[in-house]
Structure 1
């Protein structure tokens, strides 16, 4: 009885949390004619027309360019964030002052609403010629990802005994060699987890994509909004739903494929000691 009740609660929770995704997915398989008469969760005549239209008609809006822009910016934003956060996390984890002062300061900066940085960032990017570029978007996504990367990597490095560092330094290893040869292999799961979370965060970023791009470097999150009325005559709900499903596939597939890696890394610190 208790087990059955548990599964019922679980099913209700899953349905509630994924209801918007389910509605979007169902809508993407409906024709415009059916949507005008059937707005429910059932499909009378499933169709791939919306997906064919999005993937084949690139005369006005090219979804492939938006996907490529998002992938490039997300890879830049995630890769640079890890390169910057890894040595910083090592220094913080091995320093009492860094853990008490520096880490809270950096992490709390992420709590500040990003819109506050909109005007100065736009003016700076305009002066540097980084507006509407994949590099410019990737650089700002790096800043967005650094606090998250620091939190994950500091916790992971803190779990590594400092005696390993001392033993390596006795043998003549430098701090850089300790990081690359000793610490990096040990915290590899945390690095992979940082990459996955960072990539998903960067891929889903909308504000800076809307603010810093106009045509050449428009990411998928912004480009998907162009399809709502791509054919004129009001909102094209089926087309818009198909675009949103296609845009959500890369981070969703990445999360599903690497789920065991993520859960293993998150549990590592919980079971320590």
Structure 2
């Protein structure tokens, strides 16, 4: 698993992060409570609620090995990021291959769909695909992912995310954030979030996708190069169905409808696990 480098330990004695070239507001360091009292911090979280432009302001933190992400406390009471994070349960995203992970997930989701629906309805749900894994969608040339990420973060703050906090996580790429902090949002679907992060890495490479926000069981991503046609969107929708079947099962009647309404030209992907 990723070890947590020194930037956060600097904040123990320099809370504003001036020696790192940062100017942080009041915040707290969150440690892995499952790793004993001497564990190094997992992440830094601002004390106050993020303003619309906050995420973009802390993009320079990437230069010192800290990735910005918004953390939303859906209940408004319990701060799930301070007590429910367990990175020790995760493997390393680099140990997994995105297509193999998605193939496994696809076969499970397709099988569950067939079990819960009669044959005809199950076919309509996953059409134009069949139960055989269709393969990875081709990627597209991305514009600047950081610009898109800042735009998506700005749109989330105060809208679908009512009171998010800015956090900084010591990882080299945004795709690794969930595993690095031991996020357990999809626990009813996947215990080892590093497997999901292998897919996030692939989306980062193919579509300029960036992890922008995490909630208790929700993940928001910006997408610098989203699919632009229905055919492109269908191929991506198959991956989304494998990655998070609840996106289709609980929000749309079929993969086709999901592709049409949620993916074509959309720079914002959201996943939610029941």
Report the TM-score range of the alignment, normalised by the length of the smaller protein.
under 0.3
Question: Relative contact order, CA 8 A, sep 6+: which one is greater?
Answer: 1
- The structure having more radius of gyration, on CA atoms, is 1
Q: TM-score, normalised by structure 1?
A: 0.24
- TM-score, normalised via structure 2 length: 0.24
